[in-house]
Structure 1
């Protein structure tokens, strides 16, 4: 699945944009889903964003990375970068300690790296995807 851009709007907002622009619901849908890109679709997207529509990028789960605080086993609050993969594996990197850990779908540690270089992260991700 490749990344896809969308603008999230309510059904009421969709109806408003239809009336405002003078187009069909399909045209509004094509615009907010970035399916077409002529002048009317660009006008619809601009209006949707100006009226509070949220621009989003849909991406495969394994490409999403989030940062979280959690109480770890040592009872300290640490900030973590967590990346989940389609096979259930996770890559966790602790900002405080520099430790990067890969866990399999059962939560068992399958690899640890202390303060890896940025150039090594891709190889670590490959290990996680291969579990």
Structure 2
């Protein structure tokens, strides 16, 4: 899952000036660049960006979601043939591959866990 901090161009400029860094360094930090975005400076840039109104975003693939209220389920079929089924009442989540075989059977409690499961299903 790709994450980044969304902030205005004006705020990016302000952060660059305040910390005396280049615009590209600000971008590396805000996009969590694997090579240049893991330093202490990058962490300070991200902290300042969030403090100045930046929003942490997650980039996810788009997929259809079917809410079956009668059954209390959420079903997400993916383009790769994978299907994710979540039972709302229990938090039981099952992921089936394109052959219909059960790949993962877990219990989730948070939206982050659901997001991780969606990324897993999309990557099969």
Q: Report the TM-score when normalising by structure 2.
A: 0.57
Q: Distance in 2 between matches of 1:38 and 1:89?
A: 37
Q: Residue 94 and residue 38 in structure 1: after superposition, are their counterparts in 2 closer, same or farther (change >3 A)?
A: closer
- 1:83 aligned residue: 76
Q: How many residues align?
A: 97
Task: Give CA-to-partner distance per residue, 1:66-98, whole Å, 9 cap, x none.
Answer: 686x9x8xxx9x9763424125887676758xx
Structure 1 match to 2:61: 60
- Stretches (4+) displaced over 4 A: 65-68, 87-96
Cα gap change, 1:25/1:66 in structure 2, threshold over 3 Å: closer, same or farther? farther
After superposition, the C-alpha distances for 1:50-72 in whole angstroms (9 at most, x for unaligned) are: 1111112223335xx8686x9x8
* 1:14-53 alignment, distance < 5 Å: 14-35=12-33, 36-53=37-54
Cα 1:91/1:37, change in 2 over 3 Å? closer
| Matched residue, 1:118 | 92
Residue ranges of structure 1 left out of the alignment (5+ in a row): 97-116
Deviation at 1:48, TM superposition (A): 0.4
RMSD: 3.7
Q: Aligned equivalents of 1:49 and 1:55: distance in 2?
A: 8
Gaps in structure 2 of 5+ consecutive residues: 102-120
Name the SS for the 1:61 alignment partner.
coil
